[in-house]
Amino acid sequence: LQTRLQAGQGYGNTLNCVLTVYRNESVAGFFKGMSFPLASIAVYSSVVFGVFSNTQRLLSQLRHGDPSRTPELADMALASTVAGFVSVGIGTPVDLVKIRLQMQTQPYIEANIKLKPTVPGFPVYRGPIHCFRTVLQKEGIAGIYRGAGAMLLRDVPGYCLYFIPYTVFCGWITPDGCISPNPSSIWLAGGVAGAISWGTATPMDVVKSRLQADGVYLNKYKGTLDCILQSYQNEGLKVFFRGITVNTVRGFPVSSAMFLGYELSLKAMKRDQTETNP
């Protein structure tokens, strides 16, 4: 839904998008492009969370000589920024493949443009591997990383508004005297952080989706700035808030599960280390 609302044509709102996708593509339409992200999400998330936590520990070691010291706000912001940069390197190709597969059934409605071999409405890619290989052969590494600039502008501030609100809110709702937050506090703080992060990241998420969807049938945008200008000139300021409801609503449960899994995994590993090395 997010991709169709942001880069597709003819969807008035979220409900209209749901009904249109279901009517034209049945239930299978809601799961297009899932296999590649599903196969890579574990690696992507572990790298991002690992980079964030290890950068924090490194900064605490450099500043205070104690890696276990509670990080300051500036340290969390810097660690979030580093995590955002790393996420782009891993996430851009994954998002590109997902969006190309989701958008290849969309009819192209612009007039007076001659299309090449592919016919709008018919699949261009047979699957995620074929999509990745085709883009790499035709567009090279630059094609695989199309939209990386917009993703960088989305993820660097996005992760700052992801990890910092989580840490702050988790501290607020954790009862005094508790060494670590309980699962319900983690779940709630993670959900709020995800909703905040994805809600505020929506404008650049729209630009990224449009850049990566561009190229299924033709290339309309020259780059991030050109995409911003064309989108604004053609559809006004409201275009940058397409899909904000889906992003915000989705952000809560996804981030709740992500943070809860991360924190519980850390506790389990620390407990195993303690039992192994008494």
Nearest-angstrom CA–CA distance, 210 and 131: 17
Closest alpha carbon to 48 in 183, 124, 162: 162
Q: Are 106 and 9 in contact (CB under 8 A)?
A: yes
How confident is the model at residue 218, as a pLDDT?
A: 67
Nearest-angstrom CA–CA distance, 224 and 207: 7
Q: Are 101 and 128 in contact (CB under 8 A)?
A: yes
Closest alpha carbon to 216 in 98, 129, 112: 98
Q: Where along the chain do its domains lie? A: 33-145, 147-277
- Give 10-residue mean pLDDT values along the chain (278 residues): 68 73 72 69 89 93 83 92 94 90 60 42 73 90 93 95 93 76 91 95 94 78 92 92 90 94 86 59
Q: Say if residue 44 is exposed, middle or buried (CB neighbours under 10 Å; 0-12, 13-18, 19+).
A: middle
How confident is the model at residue 258, as a pLDDT?
A: 92
How confident is the model at residue 123, as a pLDDT?
A: 64
Please state at what angle helix 148-173 crosses helix 244-276, rounded to 10 degrees: 60
Q: Which residues contact 91 (CB under 8 A, 6 or more apart)?
A: 44, 151, 155
Q: Around Cβ 1, how many Cβ atoms within 10 Å?
A: 20
Distance of CA 181 to the CA centre of its chain: 26
Q: Are 199 and 247 in contact (CB under 8 A)?
A: yes
How confident is the model at residue 126, as a pLDDT?
A: 79
Q: Which residues contact 86 (CB under 8 A, 6 or more apart)?
A: 47, 48, 51
pTM of the full predicted structure? 0.81
Q: Which single residue is written with the structure tokens 């597709």?
A: 8
| Half-sphere exposure at residue 85, Cβ-oriented, CA atoms within 13 angstroms | 7
Q: Which residues contact 135 (CB under 8 A, 6 or more apart)?
A: 96, 97, 100, 143, 144, 215
Fold observed for domain 147-277: Mitochondrial carrier fold (1.50.40)
Nearest-angstrom CA–CA distance, 52 and 44: 12
Q: Are 83 and 103 in contact (CB under 8 A)?
A: no
Both tokens of 6, joined, read: 């942001």
